[in-house]
Chain A
Amino acid sequence: MSSGAAGDNIPIGTTKGPGESAGDFTIVTPDREGVVKIGEFIYYWDEVDGGRRRIFGRVASRAHLKLYPDAFMADPATSPGEVARILGFESADSELYEVNVSIMGHFSDTMGFVNPRIAPRPGLPVFLAEPETLAPILSSKNPGETGAVHVGSLLTRGDGEVPVSMDADEFANTHLAIIAGTGAGKSYLAGVIVEELLRPNNAAAVLIIDPHQEYDTLDQIPNIDTFRQINSEIEYRPEVKIFREGEFVVRRNVMHHDDILYLLGDVSTPQRVIARRALGSLRNKRNWIFDDLLRAVDNVDVASLSGGQTDQDGQEDYRSSKQALTFKLQDTLGRRGAFDDYKHTDMQDLLRPGRCSVLQVGGMDRRSQQIVVATILRRAFEGRQQTKRGETDPRDELHLPFPVFVLIEEAHRFAPPGGGAATSNLLAEILAEGRKFGMGIGLITQRPGKLDQDVLSQCMTQCIMRIVNPVDQNAVASAVESMGRDLLAELPALSKGQAIVSGAAVNTTVLCRVRERKTPHGGASYKSAETWTDYFRPEKVRRRKTDEALFPQPDGSAEVDLARELFGDD
């Protein structure tokens, strides 16, 4: 059989034989151009099903076959290659590598990659996959196509040379996980994904749970031309709505009873029993308000709770429990801001195609965050189910006749290992069933070890970025089957903005350089040193002094003295 075909690059190596494991093979290459990088795609030709096809593989690891003796490197000013040359070794290929390649197979439009299940015969030439061959087989959608989420380009090639797109239909149905250590670029990537989802080719309904106020800069999207499509037939302008704290409200009487109980935190058993009774008594009162709940607590028949006994002490206990519960309710559910008797942030306001809603939940305590998120997720999920079953009409708040995608930052807060958060069961349910009802979840976390592993393993598409912590690496390894061991070893070596994208939304695992944001990134880290030094800028010092003269503080004089000492008395 002839070696290659017209259009091939120059061969870069030669097949050697089976590799370390069943899905691997090895090639030998002098790698003169330095192109055989880990994560790179290569191919050889072989006979498959009666036709000659390119069999693709991904470079997993490489090792030197020839090594200079250590002693050749004794003098930093003399290269070992020069010593070898003087000793009569004249070849240009002084380096030779054995490269382990994970076999992917030949590509078919209908089947994706089909593994030949056989290692190549030794001695076949191996080629670097050309950009135009590679782009259409890595991603199932081309940038700009409906459903394409163009996140960046192949890391082993030049910037933009081989675009990498995820398939929105896949991750919006079978969920997405973005996992990496702090500062690796998770939120940046999430921003890129949202930008793509809001382009005219997707016009998605997106909700972001944003505890760190990192996504408010997405509100630039409507001002950027590429996000709009306006012609005679279509007028598309995406919207981005930032809901700051207090700007979204959950009406108390739509809340789940379990959620209200959860909101109370650790309460005594009698308090819990009373709360349950009180909530139960409101079941038939659709539009109850907070005062009704307090009244219901007061009206709970203590005698019936203490088993009909007329034991005075027991009843006294319950009475004090009622009091404690009332305080607790006032302190949690009763607080203004997130919860209200009448106002309510409409699901249709939060969720609609071409709109991204950003919920800034950072100001709330953890339990309230969970309850707000749980309530919103539950209502969205119910809405999708009811709409799908034809139980809603367009005026209903829960009428949601389109799929929705919810991106959750700090996901480990909402689905800790083994459950226990108000959102735990709900998230598990949506992740398991979301596909049936068109509800997708994107989980972002820097602590995959602190995220429920069942939840994590339900995310069929993964974007994994730099992870150094071994505990977190293991969590990723066990939850993410589709990602090869080879690439797992790369996790600590990745730089900011580099991601391993694998799973349902791409055809094969690919090392990706995340593209630049079109909107500014809102998650810039705090400039500590700048703020500290700023404190001592003369005008700042002067202002403080004036302020202190006007509003003398009992212990503020020390600051002024320090400034005077440092900058003199001007």
Chain B
Amino acid sequence: MEDAASELVGVVFDTILFNPDFGSAGPRIRPQIESDRLTPDRYADTATLVGIIALGMLDRDNTVIHGVTSTSPFIGARVRALRDNEITNFHKPNGRFTVGYVPHLLAHGHPLIEQLLLSLSDRLAGLFPEESAALSVIRNNLAWKLKVEQSK
């Protein structure tokens, strides 16, 4: 998500298949006007609601913040996928690798966060092979909590 000076960086953490016909209280995907008219495609009108959790911010001048940010996204902001070099910049703010947003995510308390972090760390290990040792310490710690401690 971007505005003029800085972009909020987030990660997709949930997707919900959505049909506006069911559950009228939900967000409106289509402009309201159209719903007055009955059109055949209306029945096929589904959408995927993508949940994004903020990880931090990436400024134009490459200043990076991990964790809670000072801005929040506004309605209608454009969302785009990060390029690989942007992912690198985001994780190597001063040339040193960091995933400072992990404690922030864990504090979130969403039941799927640990799972998300597991797959995230696998992805990062691919992007930053030199950090795979430290990443696997973090990853194993998460996996243990998730798979062993929770099944107690």
Q: Which of A23-31, A35-43, A71-79, A181-189 contacts B (4 or more CB under 8 A)?
A: A71-79
The reply to whether B101 and A88 form a contact with Cβ atoms under 8 Å apart is yes
The reply to whether B99 and A88 form a contact with Cβ atoms under 8 Å apart is yes
Contact among B67, B99, B141, B144 for A86, CB-based, below 8 A: B99
B100 at the interface (CB under 8 A from A): yes
The reply to whether A75 and B98 form a contact with Cβ atoms under 8 Å apart is no
The reply to whether B137 and A83 form a contact with Cβ atoms under 8 Å apart is yes
Q: How far is the CA of A83 from the CA of B139 in the complex (A)?
A: 11
Q: How far is the CA of A69 from the CA of B142 in the complex (A)?
A: 12
Contact among B98, B100, B140 for A74, CB-based, below 8 A: B140
The reply to whether A88 and B141 form a contact with Cβ atoms under 8 Å apart is no
Instruction: Give the one of B134, B138, B140, B144 with max A CB within 10 A.
Output: B134
Q: How far is the CA of A378 from the CA of B75 in the complex (A)?
A: 103
Minimum Cβ distance to chain A for residue B57 (Å): 14
A71 nearest in chain B by CB position: B141
B88 at the interface (CB under 8 A from A): no
The reply to whether A86 and B138 form a contact with Cβ atoms under 8 Å apart is yes
Q: Mark A186-226, 1 if CB is under 8 A from B, else 0.
A: 00000000000000000000000000000000000000000
A295 at the interface (CB under 8 A from B): no
Residues of A within 8 A of B135 (CB): 86
Minimum Cβ distance to chain B for residue A131 (Å): 39
Contacts of A153-204 to chain B: CB distance below 8 A: none
The reply to whether A75 and B136 form a contact with Cβ atoms under 8 Å apart is yes
B133 at the interface (CB under 8 A from A): yes
Q: How far is the CA of A83 from the CA of B144 in the complex (A)?
A: 16
B66 nearest in chain A by CB position: A88
Minimum Cβ distance to chain A for residue B96 (Å): 8
Instruction: Give the one of B66, B96, B135, B138 with max A CB within 10 A.
Output: B138
Q: Given A86-B131, A88-B67, are A75 and B101 also a contact pair (CB < 8 Å)?
A: no
Contacts of A48-83 to chain B: CB distance below 8 A: 69, 71-72, 74-75, 77-78, 82-83
Residues of A within 8 A of B97 (CB): 86
A558 at the interface (CB under 8 A from B): no
Residues of A within 8 A of B100 (CB): 87-88
Contacts of B90-104 to chain A: CB distance below 8 A: 96-103
The reply to whether B133 and A75 form a contact with Cβ atoms under 8 Å apart is yes
The reply to whether A75 and B103 form a contact with Cβ atoms under 8 Å apart is no
Residues of A within 8 A of B133 (CB): 75, 77-78
The reply to whether A87 and B102 form a contact with Cβ atoms under 8 Å apart is yes
Contact among B67, B99, B103, B137 for A78, CB-based, below 8 A: B137
Minimum Cβ distance to chain A for residue B133 (Å): 5
A366 at the interface (CB under 8 A from B): no
Q: Mark B121-133, 1 if CB is under 8 A from A, else 0.
A: 0000000000101
The reply to whether A71 and B134 form a contact with Cβ atoms under 8 Å apart is no
Residues of A within 8 A of B66 (CB): 88
- Chain B count of residues within 8 A CB distance of the other chain: 20
Minimum Cβ distance to chain A for residue B128 (Å): 10
Q: How far is the CA of A82 from the CA of B135 in the complex (A)?
A: 10
A85 at the interface (CB under 8 A from B): yes
The reply to whether B99 and A75 form a contact with Cβ atoms under 8 Å apart is no
Minimum Cβ distance to chain B for residue A79 (Å): 9
Q: Given A87-B102, A88-B67, are A82 and B134 also a contact pair (CB < 8 Å)?
A: yes
The reply to whether B98 and A88 form a contact with Cβ atoms under 8 Å apart is yes
The reply to whether B138 and A83 form a contact with Cβ atoms under 8 Å apart is yes
Residues of B within 8 A of A88 (CB): 66-67, 98-103
Q: How far is the CA of A78 from the CA of B144 in the complex (A)?
A: 18
Q: How far is the CA of A50 from the CA of B131 in the complex (A)?
A: 60
A77 nearest in chain B by CB position: B133
Contact among A74, A77, A85 for B141, CB-based, below 8 A: A74
B141 nearest in chain A by CB position: A71
Minimum Cβ distance to chain B for residue A70 (Å): 9
Q: How far is the CA of A82 from the CA of B131 in the complex (A)?
A: 10
Minimum Cβ distance to chain A for residue B93 (Å): 10
Residues of A within 8 A of B140 (CB): 71, 74
Q: How far is the CA of A77 from the CA of B135 in the complex (A)?
A: 12
Minimum Cβ distance to chain A for residue B136 (Å): 7
Q: How far is the CA of A78 from the CA of B132 in the complex (A)?
A: 10
Residues of B within 8 A of A82 (CB): 134
Minimum Cβ distance to chain B for residue A427 (Å): 63
The reply to whether B141 and A69 form a contact with Cβ atoms under 8 Å apart is yes
Q: How far is the CA of A74 from the CA of B135 in the complex (A)?
A: 11
Residues of A within 8 A of B102 (CB): 87-88
The reply to whether A86 and B103 form a contact with Cβ atoms under 8 Å apart is no
Q: How far is the CA of A85 from the CA of B66 in the complex (A)?
A: 13
B56 nearest in chain A by CB position: A88
B99 nearest in chain A by CB position: A86
Q: How far is the CA of A71 from the CA of B144 in the complex (A)?
A: 9
Minimum Cβ distance to chain A for residue B144 (Å): 7
Residues of A within 8 A of B144 (CB): 71
Contacts of B49-101 to chain A: CB distance below 8 A: 66-67, 96-101
Q: How far is the CA of A549 from the CA of B51 in the complex (A)?
A: 103
Minimum Cβ distance to chain B for residue A67 (Å): 15
A70 nearest in chain B by CB position: B141
Residues of A within 8 A of B99 (CB): 86-88
Residues of B within 8 A of A71 (CB): 137, 140-141, 144
Q: List 6 A-B contacts (CB under 8 A).
A: A78-B137, A83-B134, A83-B138, A85-B98, A86-B98, A88-B98
4 A-B pairs with the lowest CB-CB distances in the bound complex, closest first: A88-B100, A71-B141, A78-B133, A78-B134
Residues of A within 8 A of B (CB): 69, 71-72, 74-75, 77-78, 82-83, 85-88
**Given A75-B137, A85-B96, 18 extra CB contacts under 8 A:** A69-B141, A71-B137, A71-B141, A72-B137, A74-B140, A75-B133, A75-B136, A77-B133, A78-B133, A83-B134, A85-B98, A86-B97, A86-B131, A86-B138, A87-B100, A87-B138, A88-B67, A88-B99
